[in-house]
Structure 1
Amino acid sequence: MKADGAEEREGSSGEGGVRSVQRALDILGLLTDERPAVTISDIVKATGLAKTTAIRLAQTLELNGLLWSTGKGYMAGPGLWRWAHLARQSWELPPEMMQLMRELGGRQRETVNLYVRRDMYRVCVAQQESPQPLRHVVRVGDELPLWGGASSKVLLRDASPALLKRIARSSPAGADYADSIHKGLIEAADQGYAVSHGEREAGLSAVAVPVLGKNGAVAAALSLSGPTVRFSEDRIAEFVADLTESATRMSERGFDHPFAG
């Protein structure tokens, strides 16, 4: 075990500096809707950091407004609000696109999601929840793996072979899954849409279609998802038709940065 001084010196430059930033981000990542505040004990237990290191990082984050010390522990600081505002300005969909998603969700009564690709993940950038008690919901900002799901098959249409190999290796089946991913991409490209049943979560199905950027590349995936029992062949055909119409209108409207392909 290194002394705290050694850890601090490593964190001042080179790869150690990256580790220090990652440790700070790990602490911020402990905050959730279910756990809005964390104590130093929580941080030590979750990250494995030495107590003195955890205290030093938490104090630095508080000094910069990213954490706020309370009687119950550290909560999200006001500095994050400014960043959240900037992120919202960059990523929030225009009102007319959000209206399209609300109307789609109202007609089909399943959860509507819009995903974009970031390296080996798909990121949810907008959602309209299903009004039904039994529904599928992810949070805006959540990152999901690209090795499974209808939206992944749509988003990976223009992906390089090297990226597909990396994604396959990250899947539960390992590198052997590469052929299955490639087959799904070809099928989705030929059909113009993708369907998945229980690929990432048992009992969950989804249908997705591409939203194109100004250059014709896939900029996003628009999907409907919910319990598999509600995704019969007849319903899937209806979902595809409605999704395609909505995605076409989105594509015609065009995406501003960072959605543009």
Structure 2
Amino acid sequence: MPQAPQSYQGDPDDKEFMSTLAKGLAVLGAFGRLRPTMTLSEAAQVADLSRATARRVLRTLTQLGYVEQVGRTFSLSPQILNLGFSYLSTQSWIDRALPLMRELSERLGETCSAAILQGNDIVYVARVPARRIMSTTLSVGSRLPAMHTALGRVLLGYLDEAEIWRRLKSQRIEAYTPQTITDLQALFDRIRDDREQKFSIVDEELERGLRALAVPVLDRSGQAVGAINLSTHATRTTRNEMRDRFLAELNRLAGQVSSIMV
């Protein structure tokens, strides 16, 4: 599914906003799984910049080592990982969660993932795939629409109602499968219900056959810093079985992770 470029527009009245830095980030954000390489013209178009500006940005990023150039095409260099790992290193809960997720995945034979909320997307920060192969290929850094994932809905529930509505209305709701909830009021109600019950189940809404259950990871103040899920194929596990077998396991794991939060 396509990943929309992030917006790097700042407040035009903010005198301290650095538009040059924002343009550089716009170009970096334009690269992704669907656009691993780009020409100068493509980068300018995707990042909504002039060719001259895109050329200066790419030249700077290349000299800094974050972008590589081969002929007319540009791509991210491995050095860009330093930025992502710097963020991950500040999130101690991820290090705590990963071995617990690995043990749970191996014991239950299902994929276990952790994600954070970023805008209208979730971003995977840890993932332990099961040996069973599913059609969805995801890794750390992958993004999915928060509205249609268990990880996303359980995290959206920790926002205030006005902010949930703002995010719902800020994007085009797409039907990925016949089960996808596309009505805004129905989505809002589901998000609030999931917050009330402290878990979310999404059943074949993002992909046929994909069923997932997620719980939040809370800090000491009760705010959600992330979420952890177990995903399975609908032919293997019913919704009731997920509640009976998976929910207690996920809550136990999330509780162990939350216990080390400062």
TM range (shorter): 0.7 to 0.9
Once the two structures are overlaid, the 10-residue window that deviates more, 212-221 or 64-73, is 64-73
Render the CA deviation track for 1:177-224: whole Å, top value 9, x for unaligned. 343234223432443322111333343221011222112233321111
Render the CA deviation track for 1:148-199: whole Å, top value 9, x for unaligned. 22223321333212111112212517xx834323422343244332211133
- Contact residue 93 and residue 257 of structure 2 kept, 8 A: no
Find 1:200's aligned residue among 193, 197, 206.
206
- Normalising by structure 1, we get a TM-score of 0.75
Task: Tell me the residue number matched to 1:7.
Answer: none
Pairing of 1:66-105 with structure 2 (within 5 A): 66-71=66-71, 73-77=73-77, 80-91=80-91, 93=93, 95-105=95-105
Q: CA RMSD in A?
A: 3.3
The higher radius of gyration belongs to 1
Distance change (3 Å), C-alpha of 1:242 and 1:165: same
Task: Tell me the residue number matched to 2:179.
Answer: none
SS of residue matched to 1:231: coil
Structure with the bigger percentage of helix = 1
Task: Tell me the residue number matched to 2:60.
Answer: 60
Q: Percent identity?
A: 24
Any gaps of 5 or more consecutive residues in structure 2? 1-11, 175-181
Distance change (3 Å), C-alpha of 1:72 and 1:240: same
- Normalising by structure 2, we get a TM-score of 0.75
- Contact residue 130 and residue 136 of structure 1 kept, 8 A: no
Render the CA deviation track for 1:104-128: whole Å, top value 9, x for unaligned. 1112222211122334433322111
Query: How many residue pairs get matched?
Result: 241
Shift of 1:96: 4.0
- Contact residue 203 and residue 210 of structure 2 kept, 8 A: yes
- Contact residue 43 and residue 54 of structure 2 kept, 8 A: yes
Distance change (3 Å), C-alpha of 1:217 and 1:86: closer
Task: Tell me the residue number matched to 2:221.
Answer: 215
Once the two structures are overlaid, the 10-residue window that deviates more, 192-201 or 50-59, is 50-59
- Contact residue 40 and residue 72 of structure 2 kept, 8 A: no
Shift of 1:45: 5.9
Q: 1:211 corresponds to which letter in structure 2?
A: V
SS of residue matched to 2:116: strand
Deviation beyond 6 Å, 4+ runs, structure 1: none
Task: Tell me the residue number matched to 1:29.
Answer: 29
